[in-house]
Structure 1
């Protein structure tokens, strides 16, 4: 059975007191450089690692962060997690990643599990199915630091990090208008998500600015956020059954973009496919439609900023009352 080396083992081997070894490993000014060097070299040679449970008991922290996203395979979230980890590990924190798969029940179970593991804080991007926020509100009321990114809620005050969804949606829709398309449909995420309303507003702004009347019949919502492909296919079939089919579609999320293009490939011949523009951080979509135009979010930066803000909450010696809502700009990628 594996038994990791402890501070007591190092102390015994070097004929030092455990407290001296502990202070040397913490780079204390009380320990001379020669002793520090001896201790650190021995610790590295024998693969010593700080015991997080012991540190938690001494300092009241676990040095672990819970991250809740809908799906790690989603390109946006995988890039965001890279950004989160780049900050967390540099600050001495470990990251525990949990996937909701856009299901409310799974989000509740995962968040409760992370809280039971005594994480120091949570980074959350809401699931598409979540309308009841009590599982998060209760943890916040108990003092657990929480920061939202991408999909946020306003149930209580805390830091949030999002993309400029309204502007990104407007730019994406205008890219279709600039190519001569006039009958532009919108495939939207779950109606209650923060990103849905913001991206719908950008779509509407672009139409209005170019004198194109808003047609509510061209807007379809996917309440499960693309988790259920049948729901996406039903929305695309609806567009295909319209007396006047849309000649372009603005799609509101990464997963929906993939589902939309897959559905058109399944349900209609290539010459009936509309032009598509949407939010996506994936390069795989090129394989489905070469001229796919996407709005790319700064996912890595979003993860970095969210993690930095959470660590500020965790390490603050005083209650924090001044919260920031950071909005990052998107980028239009022409294929």
Structure 2
């Protein structure tokens, strides 16, 4: 078994000097002679001494660590956000602690409290579908730890947030399907808890009405995963003869219903046109290639941590909630 990591006390004992002298030498303090500094540095290198980053950070009232809580790491959109966060963090010499809620409220609470216990300097959070009780977010505010929400956020709280224009995205998709001749469009929606899904659905409904088409709430199904689409197979196939378009709240649901319909003998896009949301890499690989809304995940991640660092650097400034909204674009492909 390996021994404990080398410490300042180990260096002090070996060189016959005080621990405070070693600490100042390692910190390049001007009061320490060049000879002593050289001896300390050489011995520290020889025994592979590494400073305790957490202790150094806490000494300056910073841990230099940012906490990130996301619903799913494997989700392409969230992984691109993480990439944007990491790029900025690396350039600033910061560490990133990442946890996923797996769309589970209790897990989200545990993750956030663990990050507070580890004294993160700030939090970046995208809430789970399962979150109704917001008391754990209030705990963060009361701890005076800056928090920025990205993509998903609690509308009941006054917070900083980085979001996508989901309403406009819903309108873009629905308008496109209408322009392609669709008159009866099924919408695969997500949890009512999530404002992102509610906004996409609102964009869909408003565009249906603006086109003087009949809005039918029965054409909205809560199917936001592949599993839920296949579980609703009988219901979807019963509706299929009466629809000519599908707008899915995400790409994986869009691909699932596209496969389900094609397996049942429907031609995509000739009989039923399909579009998704998110521009997952698989959208351009499946056949037919999926029409979808492109989100700027990487840029959202960069903007989120930049906004968080502003809050960390200016803790005493008056708090006025800020919202930064990224615009979306429609990538038209073969499925529509």
What TM bracket, shorter-length normalisation? 0.7 to 0.9
Stretches of 4+ moved more than 6 A in 1? 7-13, 28-33, 35-48
The alignment status of 1:231 with 2:228, answered yes or no, reads: yes
TM-score of the aligned structures, taking structure 2 as reference length? 0.83
1:18 to 22, 26, 44: 22
Instruction: Tell me, yes or no, if the aligned pair for 1:218 and 1:239 is still in contact at 8 Å.
Output: no
| CA distance in structure 2 between the partners assigned to 1:260 and 1:81 by the alignment | 28
| CA distance in structure 2 between the partners assigned to 1:270 and 1:40 by the alignment | 73
1:179 Cα deviation from its structure 2 partner:
1.6
Give RMSD over aligned pairs.
3.3
- Provide the residue aligned with 2:195 in structure 1: 194
| CA distance in structure 2 between the partners assigned to 1:236 and 1:334 by the alignment | 26
- Provide the residue aligned with 2:267 in structure 1: 271
| CA distance in structure 2 between the partners assigned to 1:261 and 1:114 by the alignment | 41
Instruction: Tell me, yes or no, if the aligned pair for 1:199 and 1:252 is still in contact at 8 Å.
Output: yes
**Structure 2 CA distance for partners of 1:116 and 1:221, relative to 1, 3 Å:** same
Where in structure 2 are the equivalents of 1:295-310 lying within 5 Å?
Answer: 295-310=293-308
Where in structure 2 are the equivalents of 1:1-335 lying within 5 Å?
Answer: 1=2, 17-24=21-28, 49-222=50-223, 225-226=224-225, 229-242=226-239, 244-261=241-258, 263-264=260-261, 268-271=264-267, 274-335=272-333
Q: Could you list the runs of 5+ residues in structure 1 that have no partner in the other structure?
A: none
**Structure 2 CA distance for partners of 1:52 and 1:257, relative to 1, 3 Å:** farther
Equivalenced residue count is: 326
What is the SS of the residue equivalent to 2:267? helix
1:92 Cα deviation from its structure 2 partner:
2.2
Q: Could you list the runs of 5+ residues in structure 2 that have no partner in the other structure?
A: none
| CA distance in structure 2 between the partners assigned to 1:255 and 1:2 by the alignment | 49
Instruction: Tell me, yes or no, if the aligned pair for 2:251 and 2:283 is still in contact at 8 Å.
Output: no
Q: Spell out, residue by residue over 1:264-286, the C-alpha distance to the aligned partner (whole angstroms, 9 max, x if none).
A: 46x62353773211212312134
**Structure 2 CA distance for partners of 1:241 and 1:141, relative to 1, 3 Å:** same
Q: Spell out, residue by residue over 1:227-277, the C-alpha distance to the aligned partner (whole angstroms, 9 max, x if none).
A: xx4432244532321274321111112443354445446x62353773211
TM-score of the aligned structures, taking structure 1 as reference length? 0.83
Q: Spell out, residue by residue over 1:2-58, the C-alpha distance to the aligned partner (whole angstroms, 9 max, x if none).
A: 665666788988x9943543443xxx899999x999999998998765422212330
